[in-house]
Chains A and B, each alone.
Chain A
Amino acid sequence: METSLLIGLALIALLVFLVHYLIRRTRGDSIYRQLWFSTAIFILVGVSIGPSGLHLLDIKDINSLSPLTDILLGWIGWLIGIEWSRKLFSLIPVKYWLIGTMENILSIVVVMTVFGGLAYLFKDLFSDPLMPEFLFLVGLCASVTSPRSIITLTHRFSLPREVARNFAVIAHLGNLVAIFFTYMLISFLGSAHQGVFRLLPIAIVLVLGILEALVMNWLFVYRRDTPESMLMVIGIVTFFAGAAAILQVPPFLAALMGGGFFALNYPKRQHQLMSVLQSSERPIYLMFVTMAAVLMPVHEPMLYITLLAFITIRLVAKFISGSLVKRTYSKLRKWWGTGLFLPQGALAVAIALSAYQLNPGYWYDILVAVVVLGLLINELLGYLLIKSGGNNGAAG
């Protein structure tokens, strides 16, 4: 790590002081607003210390950030995977599985088709040899939704509990589909521009994930206190993130597999481990978003054009898929479905970053930036749409 990197990282933390001071000064009642603002400011901090901003970090520094990015991606992977539950999956009716799958595929298809059309119109710009894979990736990133944001939004607007449950479950299932497709995608992206499907990356991810889960389980059984567990979890996540990076598979997917395998096979310890992972969730998420923001090419006009296209097309896609989900709750007000499905979380950024790691290039760089900025805009749009649709649960 270089000098400027250390200063940059220190700035990230120290600017939080200013951020929260500003947040306190702004009018607003909800924690929701505070969370939104702090994410926004961390993105700004990331951009400002990156090559596009004050240039505190140069390309060498960004390369040296890659282990940290790998570790953070590993942590996010575990956080997502550990939420899987065999019991919950078995309780979900088939109808929900179908809707979740269709909702996700529908979003992917809509986004992919429209972006594909744009790519066809501007052939000179989109000259990546892996264009179909890239378009599929854009669709994947657009399709994922944050179940946690759904809970936060329904709580904020006092929407019926049934809405929260239905939408969160469907979003969760939709994300599972997206994760499955991401595993498929890495086999193409890791094939050195040959566009050939290879089983080896998937096999490596599976083996690493299972080994990671086994080691975690063996060491976690007789855990003592939280700091000790934290040490062990950091060690395991770091080790396997490094192993995945050396073996040229995304650390995020290996960790996600590990988290999922652990959750499905050792449910007794699932919540204990979850509490350890979640105790650092917020700092990890903020660091993760900041790291992603560091890469952001803010001076590129194409970023804003793509962002606009991404947000608009995704809005259309989620309007269609939101209408589909309306079937699970008949009293749903207009725009609620779209509004609830708009917010995105770390999963979208993790998918984009994982693809970027395998195939770094102009468009992948743009996509990471679009998804990071999209987090904020989609969160805000979702909030505004629900607000416009009615402000309390007495609807219908």
Chain B
Amino acid sequence: MAQQDKTMRGRMVLQHILAMVVITAVLYVIRYHVMGSEYTGRSYTETTLLLGFVLIVAYMAGIVAAHFGLPRITGYLFSGILFGPSLFGFATHETVNQLKVIDGMAVALIALTAGGEIKLDSLKHIRKPLTWIVAATMLLSFLGVTALVLIISRWFPLFSGPENFGQWTAVAILLGTIAMASSPTVVIAVISETKAKGEVSELILGTTVIKDMAVVILFAIALSLALIFNDPEATFDFMKIAGAIGEVALSLLIGLVLGWLLGLYINRVGREMVLVVLGLCLLVAEIGLNYHLEPLSICLAAGFYIENFSGTKGDVFIAAMKKLSLPVFALFFCVIGLELDLRSLASIWIITLVLVAMRAVMVLLGTIAGSKIGNAGNFMQQYGWLGFISQAGVSIGLAVTIGRTFPDWGAQLETLIISMVTVHEIIGPILLKFALDRSGETEAVTRKQ
């Protein structure tokens, strides 16, 4: 039996390699022999070809990652990194830009799933630890990273640009704020994949979701403060903060309305769910793009409403979501991998690692403190912090805003933040899966027990 399994596995590996050789050969022939110098990566047909390639490679990388006990999304990320502009360069920057359109839709779909995972009953049950963990991790991450940057910059400037203590304070505040963020998309992808259930997964998901919304508001405050520290003649912009709060509130409101509409559809019609979910996600992505609203918050609220207030036919909705989720996750994380710029990480890796380590320590301390005060279980105290390491889209978006707002040193800080996010993106899913496995909440572990 063991011998048969071994032969089967060997055959499987061989066939996957063969498939990979064939598609890479087709891609190579088309790119270098058929198209030659005409290849730009900008045409729609080229994007289609690369999209297919990315999906196939992601599928295989996901299997390889799962084989080594890693989350599939790590495989998707690595396949993106491997074939992206940083390494093999099969996908050009133009192609990546074209594929980014999918980002908004994927974020919406992931958030819809995340919202659907938040149940009102369990939220009531974990309210206390949730509040304390959110507060403690955010506060400590901010203080730790801000203090570290202020101290280091006295002796060893992180990058060129800022000329005085005020400007370094601005940098420290912004880095501290970004350090508070975690990635709900990574969390929901890993929880969906591992089918984890329990206190740790609920707390990690709830915390990252709340942190994500809070960071948008806090970033507006931090940005206004940073502008004052950068230029003492500037004034504190209350409107910016009010605008950020309004953005989040309006996004949640729109999400609830969409959730109500979707609930009506599920209960009264319940057909063509895949098309409806897809259409809704595209619509939300578009609303987010045009009206400066948060697709993530909109869909979180919509998913939350459907799960908790739209009656008993939620199964139809969940089935439709499941049908779409894996291809969307694969594409989303693969595109993230394609976007990751390893070259920027290579140039500032020491300072990046110092900041990553500091943030990790602060998240650890925050989780322990929050869990103890909020009476969370032992597993949360021991492993919960590993779930808050990952960072993704929101942090990158905020980094881009910084780059645009501070022409003297914003670009350097943006590169540093993206380097940190790159590290967090690579290690975050692995750590989260480890935490869920150790807490005994993943389906694989539960089955073994």
Q: Interface on A for B, CB 8 Å cutoff?
A: 1, 3, 6-7, 9-14, 16-17, 20-21, 24, 38, 63-64, 66-67, 70-71, 211, 214-215, 218-219, 221-222, 226-228, 230-232, 234-243, 245-247, 279-280, 282-283, 286-287
A selection of 27 A-B contacts at a CB cut-off of 8 Å is: A7-B286, A10-B286, A12-B275, A13-B278, A13-B280, A16-B271, A16-B275, A17-B264, A20-B268, A64-B44, A67-B44, A211-B22, A214-B22, A215-B19, A222-B8, A222-B12, A228-B62, A235-B54, A236-B52, A236-B56, A238-B51, A239-B52, A241-B48, A241-B52, A242-B47, A246-B34, A247-B30
Complex Cα distance A3/B104, Å? Answer: 12
Complex Cα distance A123/B86, Å? Answer: 58
Q: Distance (Å) between the CB of A190 and the closest chain B CB?
A: 15
The residue that B30 contacts in the complex, of A20, A221, A227, A243, with Cβ under 8 A, is A243
A221 x B12 contact (CB < 8 A): yes
Complex Cα distance A1/B268, Å? Answer: 32
Q: Distance (Å) between the CB of A258 and the closest chain B CB?
A: 12
Instruction: Write out the residue numbers on chain A whose beta carbons fall within 8 Å of the beta carbon of B62.
Output: 228, 231
Complex Cα distance A187/B340, Å? Answer: 43
Complex Cα distance A215/B261, Å? Answer: 42
B326 x A238 contact (CB < 8 A): no
User: Does B265 count as interface, using CB distance less than 8 angstroms?
Assistant: yes
Instruction: Write out the residue numbers on chain A whose beta carbons fall within 8 Å of the beta carbon of B2.
Output: none
Q: Which residue of A lies closest to B31 (CB)?
A: A246
A219 x B59 contact (CB < 8 A): yes
User: Does B35 count as interface, using CB distance less than 8 angstroms?
Assistant: yes
Majority DSSP secondary structure for residues of A touching B: helix
Q: Distance (Å) between the CB of A7 and the closest chain B CB?
A: 6
User: Does B285 count as interface, using CB distance less than 8 angstroms?
Assistant: yes
Q: 1/0 per residue B267-278: CB within 8 Å of A?
A: 011011011111
The residue that A17 contacts in the complex, of B16, B55, B276, B322, with Cβ under 8 A, is B276
User: Does B327 count as interface, using CB distance less than 8 angstroms?
Assistant: yes
Instruction: Write out the residue numbers on chain B whose beta carbons fall within 8 Å of the beta carbon of A227.
Output: 322-323, 325-327
The residue that B326 contacts in the complex, of A228, A242, A245, A287, with Cβ under 8 A, is A228
Complex Cα distance A282/B323, Å? Answer: 13
B46 x A9 contact (CB < 8 A): no
Complex Cα distance A63/B26, Å? Answer: 25
A279 x B48 contact (CB < 8 A): no
Q: Which residue of A lies closest to B286 (CB)?
A: A6
Complex Cα distance A236/B327, Å? Answer: 12
A13 x B276 contact (CB < 8 A): yes
User: Does B4 count as interface, using CB distance less than 8 angstroms?
Assistant: no
Q: Distance (Å) between the CB of A8 and the closest chain B CB?
A: 9
- Contacts A214-B22, A230-B327; A242 near B282 (Cβ below 8 A): no
User: Does B152 count as interface, using CB distance less than 8 angstroms?
Assistant: no
- Contacts A7-B283, A14-B279, A247-B30; A215 near B326 (Cβ below 8 A): no
Q: Interface on B for A, CB 8 Å cutoff?
A: 8, 11-12, 15-16, 18-19, 22-23, 26-27, 30, 34-35, 44-56, 58-60, 62, 101, 261, 264-265, 268-269, 271-272, 274-280, 282-283, 285-286, 289-290, 322-323, 325-327, 330
Complex Cα distance A10/B279, Å? Answer: 4
Residue from B265, B275, B327 with most neighbouring chain A CB atoms (10 Å): B275
A242 x B55 contact (CB < 8 A): no
A218 x B59 contact (CB < 8 A): no
Instruction: Write out the residue numbers on chain A whose beta carbons fall within 8 Å of the beta carbon of B59.
Output: 219, 228, 231-232, 235
Q: Which residue of B lies closest to A227 (CB)?
A: B326
Complex Cα distance A235/B51, Å? Answer: 7
A21 x B268 contact (CB < 8 A): yes
B101 x A1 contact (CB < 8 A): yes
Complex Cα distance A283/B276, Å? Answer: 10
Complex Cα distance A237/B56, Å? Answer: 10
Complex Cα distance A218/B45, Å? Answer: 25
Q: Distance (Å) between the CB of A248 and the closest chain B CB?
A: 9
Instruction: Write out the residue numbers on chain A whose beta carbons fall within 8 Å of the beta carbon of B58.
Output: 231, 235
A240 x B52 contact (CB < 8 A): yes
B279 x A13 contact (CB < 8 A): yes
Q: Distance (Å) between the CB of A243 and the closest chain B CB?
A: 6
Residue from A16, A63, A237 with most neighbouring chain B CB atoms (10 Å): A16
The residue that A231 contacts in the complex, of B55, B268, B282, B289, with Cβ under 8 A, is B55
Q: Distance (Å) between the CB of B276 and the closest chain A CB?
A: 5
Q: Distance (Å) between the CB of A272 and the closest chain B CB?
A: 16
Instruction: Write out the residue numbers on chain B whose beta carbons fall within 8 Å of the beta carbon of A226.
Output: 323
B46 x A242 contact (CB < 8 A): yes
Instruction: Write out the residue numbers on chain A whose beta carbons fall within 8 Å of the beta carbon of B48.
Output: 67, 70-71, 238, 241-242, 245
Complex Cα distance A10/B261, Å? Answer: 14
Complex Cα distance A13/B56, Å? Answer: 27
Q: Distance (Å) between the CB of B381 and the closest chain A CB?
A: 34
- Contacts A246-B35, A247-B30; A66 near B278 (Cβ below 8 A): no
B282 x A10 contact (CB < 8 A): yes
Complex Cα distance A1/B271, Å? Answer: 27
A246 x B56 contact (CB < 8 A): no
A17 x B327 contact (CB < 8 A): no
Q: Which residue of A lies closest to B273 (CB)?
A: A283
Instruction: Write out the residue numbers on chain A whose beta carbons fall within 8 Å of the beta carbon of B19.
Output: 214-215, 218-219
B45 x A231 contact (CB < 8 A): no
Complex Cα distance A214/B268, Å? Answer: 44
Complex Cα distance A14/B261, Å? Answer: 10
Instruction: Write out the residue numbers on chain A whose beta carbons fall within 8 Å of the beta carbon of B290.
Output: 3
Instruction: Write out the residue numbers on chain A whose beta carbons fall within 8 Å of the beta carbon of B53.
Output: 235, 239
A66 x B45 contact (CB < 8 A): yes
Instruction: Give 18 new A-B contacts, CB below 8 A, not counting A6-B286, A11-B283.
Output: A10-B283, A13-B280, A13-B282, A21-B269, A24-B269, A38-B272, A215-B22, A218-B18, A219-B19, A219-B60, A222-B8, A234-B55, A235-B52, A242-B46, A242-B50, A243-B30, A246-B35, A279-B323
Complex Cα distance A88/B229, Å? Answer: 79
What are the 7 tightest A-B residue pairs by CB atom distance, in nearest-first order? A13-B279, A239-B52, A242-B49, A235-B55, A10-B283, A238-B52, A242-B48
Q: Which residue of A lies closest to B330 (CB)?
A: A231
B51 x A14 contact (CB < 8 A): no
Instruction: Write out the residue numbers on chain B whose beta carbons fall within 8 Å of the beta carbon of A237.
Output: 52
Complex Cα distance A66/B98, Å? Answer: 14
Q: Which residue of B lies closest to A63 (CB)?
A: B44
Q: Distance (Å) between the CB of B306 and the closest chain A CB?
A: 14
Q: Distance (Å) between the CB of B40 and the closest chain A CB?
A: 12
A246 x B49 contact (CB < 8 A): yes
B52 x A242 contact (CB < 8 A): yes
The residue that B276 contacts in the complex, of A16, A231, A282, with Cβ under 8 A, is A16
Complex Cα distance A228/B276, Å? Answer: 22
Q: Distance (Å) between the CB of B411 and the closest chain A CB?
A: 28
Q: Distance (Å) between the CB of A91 and the closest chain B CB?
A: 31
Complex Cα distance A226/B18, Å? Answer: 23
Instruction: Write out the residue numbers on chain A whose beta carbons fall within 8 Å of the beta carbon of B283.
Output: 6-7, 10-11, 13-14
Q: Which residue of B lies closest to A287 (CB)?
A: B275
Complex Cα distance A99/B62, Å? Answer: 50
Q: Which residue of B lies closest to A236 (CB)?
A: B56
